[in-house]
Chains A and B, each alone.
Chain A
Amino acid sequence: MGVPLLSSPCCGGALGGGQTLACPRAEAGVALPSISAVQPLLAPARSRAGNARPRLAGGLGHRGAQRKAGKLLPFGDRDPQRFWKRAEQTMVLDVRNMNDWQRKSPLDWETYVNKMVKVAAIEKHEYEGWVLTVDPVSASIVLATFLENEKVSISVVLGHAIQEVEILKEGDDEMKQRLSCIFAPEESKAYSPEEEEKRKNALKTWLETNHIPVTEQGESGRTLCVAGVLTIDPPYGPEECSSSNEIILSRVQGLIQGYLEKQQ
């Protein structure tokens, strides 16, 4: 009946039923169960006899004594006004609210490509240039600006910082061509099968003389396999090495780079 009240932290858990509690309110000699025994639960007074069950988070820590005495404010004993003022002054980093630009669909973003735009970013930054692309993952705009000395300046404005994008000009065909060539992948020099075979054998011999275990793999034997963990595809340059081990990959890439430089 009233037994649960006995096990409340305020009143101590070790007392049996019907006994007079050590709570101040029960000092009037009221035995349990009674209505007045509910009061300690609603407004827990501190038990002078000590608690059989210690308050868990309350009295611990280097400030436990202050917390117990009820003198410690939630955010320390600093002035509350200063706390909220400081909170306002602290910059709020990206709170994961997408802005309008980030919410657009990829087809919308595609309409901006190859156009001259002005991007208004947060903190009053502004960027102008020809849109090369918009990254779908981060909604970042990649802008190209042509400088006088034949150089191109690429600026990337991150999606979370974009406030407004304004189209200034459409690009004509010549501009589209120019923009698409900026990031075009380099054409790799095509080797004939005999040249490839020669390069492969030369590299294999060089690796073997340097005591690096290398085997040939694949159906036509065109892929070299180094120590069972790294593969080299034709045309056997540093860029054609692939491995799951970064350390071996970087070492072998360096070796092949040095080998090719020595050859030339």
Chain B
Amino acid sequence: ATMPVPVPVGVLRLPRGPDGCSRGFSPTSLRFQALLGGDTVAAQGARAALRQRYLRGLAAARGRPTRFCLRAGVQVDAVFGAADVEAVAFQVDALRTPLGVQAAALLRCADVLAYSFLL
């Protein structure tokens, strides 16, 4: 019996998406779970109300000096700029680092544990 010889094929590696996984979406993300459908109307209403308050909080944070607690006990001061939709990164202005003050920077949400500011 003839054995077909496997011809080596080039492997196409997709670039990693912003979420870290290169599949285009994360099957464990809350958005996908919501798409599968499982939440009732009440849960959706609660979700909307909570999200609205959170977004107002982000709007209140804009332009205020914030302290970010990163991993391994690192704390940095910066002026809060913006957050993105899927909580992947924060944009900050005037980030104070040991190397100097960075005019604009992105902080990954995976690195940030908590942040706080004064109202």
Contact = CB atoms under 8 A, between A and B. Distances in A.
Interface string B32-58: 000000010011101101110110110
Interface in B61-91: 61, 69, 71-73, 85-87
A16 B115 CA distance: 72
B51 A156 contact: no
A10 interface: no
B57 A123 contact: no
B69 A125 contact: yes
B113 A96 contact: no
Interface magnitude class on chain A:
35 or more
A84 to B, nearest CB: 21
Does more than half of chain A's interface fall in helix, strand or loop, or is it mixed?
Answer: loop
A161 to B, nearest CB: 4
A135 B87 contact: yes
Nearest to A105: B43
Interface in A152-180: 152-161
A135 B43 contact: no
A56 interface: yes
Given A122-B113, A127-B114, A156-B114, A96 B21 contact: yes
A140 interface: yes
Interface in A167-208: 182-185
Given A109-B46, A183-B60, A136 B51 contact: yes
Contact of B53 (A8, A107, A132, A155): A132
Interface in B85-109: 85-87, 109
A3 B73 CA distance: 65
B50 A106 contact: yes
Given A4-B5, A98-B28, A161 B114 contact: yes
B117 to A, nearest CB: 6
Contact of A138 (B2, B59, B109): B109
Interface in A93-149: 93-94, 96, 98, 102, 105-107, 109-110, 113, 121-123, 125, 127, 132-140, 142, 147
Given A4-B2, A106-B43, A132-B57, A140 B117 contact: no
B42 A107 contact: yes
A183 B53 contact: yes
B54 A106 contact: no
11 contacts: A3-B2, A106-B39, A106-B44, A106-B50, A113-B50, A136-B30, A136-B51, A142-B57, A154-B119, A155-B116, A158-B114
Interface of A: 1, 3-4, 7-8, 56, 91, 93-94, 96, 98, 102, 105-107, 109-110, 113, 121-123, 125, 127, 132-140, 142, 147, 151-161, 182-185
Given A106-B44, A110-B50, 8 more contacts: A96-B28, A106-B47, A110-B46, A122-B113, A155-B114, A158-B114, A182-B60, A183-B57
